[in-house]
Amino acid sequence: GESVGLHLPTLSVQEGDNSIINCAYSNSASDYFIWYKQESGKGPQFIIDIRSNMDKRQGQRVTVLLNKTVKHLSLQIAATQPGDSAVYFCAETGAQKLVFGQGTRLTINP
C-alpha cells in the first residue's frame, strides 16, 4: 500500500549549516509532493512543492529534490536559522488524498 516515511525522526544541526531532511515514498504513481513545516501548537505550514515532471525546485533558502528512480524526496535548508526549528513533514498525492510521513524534528544548535 501507499506509505511515506522519513529516514530520520530527529536531526540536529549547527546554526548556519545546511540541513537535509529525507523522505522515502512507495507509490510510484504519485505525481505531486509537498513539504510542510509544523511549529509547536500550530498547523503545518506549506514550504515548497514539486511535481513528478521535475527533479529539483528551489525556493527561498529551500530546495526540494525528487529522485523518482529510488522514490526519494529531500528538503535542503540553506544556512539554517533558529526559526527553522520545527517538525518537517513530506506528503505525496495518492488516491484523491495526501499521504503524510511521520515527520522529522529539526533542532538548531547555537
Partner 1 sequence: DGGITQSPKYLFRKEGQNVTLSCEQNLNHDAMYWYRQDPGQGLRLIYYSQIVNDFQKGDIAEGYSVSREKKESFPLTVTSAQKNPTAFYLCASSITPPGTSHSNQPQHFGDGTRLSIL
Q: Does 110 bind partner 1 (CB under 8 A)?
A: no
CB closer to partner 1, 12 vs 45: 45
Q: How far is the CB of 58 from partner 1 (least distance, A)?
A: 17
Tell me the backbone φ, ψ of residue 82, rounded to 5 degrees.
-55, -35
Q: How far is the CB of 78 from partner 1 (least distance, A)?
A: 21
Residue 4 host element (H or E): strand 4-5
Gap between the Cα atoms of 90 and 103, Å rounded: 7
CB closer to partner 1, 75 vs 89: 89
Tell me the backbone φ, ψ of residue 71, rounded to 5 degrees.
55, 60
Cell numbers 539554517: residue: 80
Q: Does 97 bind partner 1 (CB under 8 A)?
A: yes
Q: How far is the CB of 73 from partner 1 (least distance, A)?
A: 15
Footprint on residues 25-84 left by partner 1 (CB under 8 A) = 31-32, 34, 36, 41-46, 49, 51
For the record, the C-alpha cell of 52 comes out as 513528478
# chain residues binding partner 1, by CB under 8 A: 23
Gap between the Cα atoms of 95 and 87, Å rounded: 25
